[in-house]
Amino acid sequence: MSDSSSLFALSPLPATFGAVVADVRLAELQDDAFGRLYDLWLGYGLLIFPGQHLGKEQQIAFARRFGALEVEFGELSNLLPDGGVRSASPGQEDDMMRAIKGNMGWHQDSTFMPVQAKGAVFSAIATPDTGGETGFADMEAAYAALPEAKQRMLEGLTAGHSLAYSQSRLGFGKETDSKSMFAYGFDVGDAPRRPLVKVHPETGRKSLAIGRHAFGIDGFDDEESWAFLEALREAACQPPRIWAHQWRPGDVVVWDNRRLLHRSQPWDMRQPRVMWHTRIAGDPHMDGGLGGIGSPSTRPQEAAGEA
Ligand SMILES: [Fe+2]
CA of 76 to the centre of ligand 1 (A): 10
Average pLDDT for residues 10-21, to the nearest whole number? 98
pLDDT at 191 over 50: yes
Instruction: Categorize the per-residue pLDDT at 251 as very low, low, confident or very high, splitting at 50, 70 and 90.
Output: very high
pLDDT attached to residue 179: 65
CA of 183 to the centre of ligand 1 (A): 15
Characterize the bridge pairing of strands 214-215 and 46-49.
unpaired
CA of 262 to the centre of ligand 1 (A): 6
Instruction: Categorize the per-residue pLDDT at 189 as very low, low, confident or very high, splitting at 50, 70 and 90.
Output: confident
pLDDT > 70 in the chain, percent? 90
Characterize the bridge pairing of strands 193-195 and 69-77.
unpaired
pLDDT tens for 170-180 read 999 876 666 67
Average pLDDT for residues 134-157, to the nearest whole number? 98
pLDDT at 77 over 60: yes
CA of 69 to the centre of ligand 1 (A): 15
Q: In the predicted model, what is the mean pLDDT of the chain?
A: 91
CA of 247 to the centre of ligand 1 (A): 16
CA of 6 to the centre of ligand 1 (A): 31
CA of 28 to the centre of ligand 1 (A): 27
pLDDT attached to residue 304: 30
pLDDT attached to residue 209: 98
CA of 73 to the centre of ligand 1 (A): 13
Average pLDDT for residues 33-48, to the nearest whole number? 97
Distance CA 219, CA 129 (A): 46
CA of 306 to the centre of ligand 1 (A): 8
CA of 102 to the centre of ligand 1 (A): 9
- Please report, for the chain, the start and end positions of each structural domain, with discontinuous segments joined by +: 3-303
Q: Please, what is the Cα angle at 242 between 2 and 52, to 5 degrees?
A: 60
pLDDT attached to residue 187: 78
Distance CA 245, CA 135 (A): 6
Classified by CATH at the fold level, domain 3-303 comes out as Double-stranded beta-helix (3.60.130)
